[in-house]
Amino acid sequence: MTGAAALGLPGSVAIVTGAGGTRGLGAAIARRFGEAGAAVVVTDRGEADLPALVETIAANGGRAAARTADVTVEADIGALVAFARERFGSIDIMVNNAGIGDLIGPVEEFAVEDWDRLMAVNLRGVFLEIKHAARAMIAAGKGGRIISIGSQASKSGILMMSAYAASKHGIVGLTRSAAIDLGKHGITVNAVCPNHIPNDLGDWQRETLSAARGWTMEEYWTRFRGRVPLGRTGQAIDTANACLYLASDLASYVTGEAMNVSGGEEYH
């Protein structure tokens, strides 16, 4: 398969976690996969906007279903994978997007309880998603694609975000090692690492960290544009397009990677 056709996902079944919230990365990825022909199971801890997302995907000619799950609970993830297989017949793509980033503070003041909560969602959750998706893919014997959503914080430290950065750095290590484990089964494992995205979480982080630095919003955007060679803020669709590539046939020889989607701001 070559050209534009290779970017399609006809006949594939994908799970996208953390898909609640209309402005979020998960919703954007799910919509993009639906447009590309995949059947999509969307999930979040609460029902939230999931029914509306399913309707949107269906209105655009796609197939979708929703199920709630807590990514920190192994039984929930096992049941989620089983649901996808029962509803659509298989699981070919797993996108580990669920995460939290609103627990921040100086490392010397950061509460252990907040550290544990953040690691449970951002790292334990990704481990459980990889584990159960891989088991299903191995049993089916058709290979598969596993994609985890990291961050610029997967590559660089950020003020008052030691715990968040540690969790996102951990995703890269997990990705690289899982790629080695699962390569013999034809399963690719990659991460996508976006920089600042203007969604609900991104807006909160921007405002909180700017206030901590004593910056106005105008100062923030001036500094941001100066750091990004392409001169614009990343959008959710940019990350969704990167995920589509990694899920497609065009990326069949790409594994163990942590792809920056940052307009050139992050380059290692």
Q: In the prediction, which pLDDT does 268 show? A: 85
Do the domain assignments include residue 178? Answer: yes
Look at residue 202 and tell me if it is in a domain: no
Q: What is the pLDDT of residues 95-143, one digit of tens each?
A: 999 999 888 899 999 999 999 999 999 999 999 999 999 999 999 999 9
Residue with tokens 């994978």: 81
Q: Is residue 42 part of a domain?
A: yes
How many domains are there within the chain? 1
Q: Among 164, 220, 253, 267, which one carries the catalytic annotation? A: 164
In our burial notation (b when 16+ CB lie closer than 10 A, e otherwise), range 36-75 reads: bebbbbbbbbeebbbeebbebbeeeebbbbbbebbbbbee
Summarize the confidence of residues 226-239 as an average pLDDT. 90
Does any domain span residue 216? no
Mean pLDDT score across all residues of the chain: 92
The answer to whether the beta carbons of residues 41 and 66 sit under 8 Å apart is yes
Q: Would you say residue 267 lies in a domain? A: no
Write out pLDDT tens, residues 7-39.
899 999 999 999 998 889 999 999 999 999 999
With respect to residue 71, please indicate whether it lies within any of the assigned structural domains.
yes
Answer whether 53's CB lies under 8 Å from 98's CB. no
Q: Would you say residue 226 lies in a domain?
A: no
Residue 130 placed within a domain: yes
CA separation for the pair 121, 173 (Å, rounded): 16
Q: What is the pLDDT of residue 1?
A: 46
pLDDT reported for residue 19: 96
Residue predicted with more confidence, 233 or 48: 233
pLDDT at 221 (0 to 100)? 67
State the pTM of this model. Answer: 0.92
164 included as an active-site residue: yes
Task: Summarize pLDDT for 171-198 with one digit per residue, the tens.
Answer: 999 999 999 999 999 999 999 999 988 7
pLDDT one-digit tens code per residue, 43-95: 999 877 899 999 999 999 999 999 999 999 999 999 999 999 999 999 999 99
Is a pLDDT exceeding 90 seen at residue 267? Answer: no
- Phi first, then psi: give them for residue 16, nearest 5 degrees: -125, 115
Q: Position of tokens 């996102």? A: 168
**CATH number of residue 121's parent domain:** 3.40.50.720
Q: Is the pLDDT of residue 155 over 60?
A: yes
What domain range includes position 172?
3-197+237-256
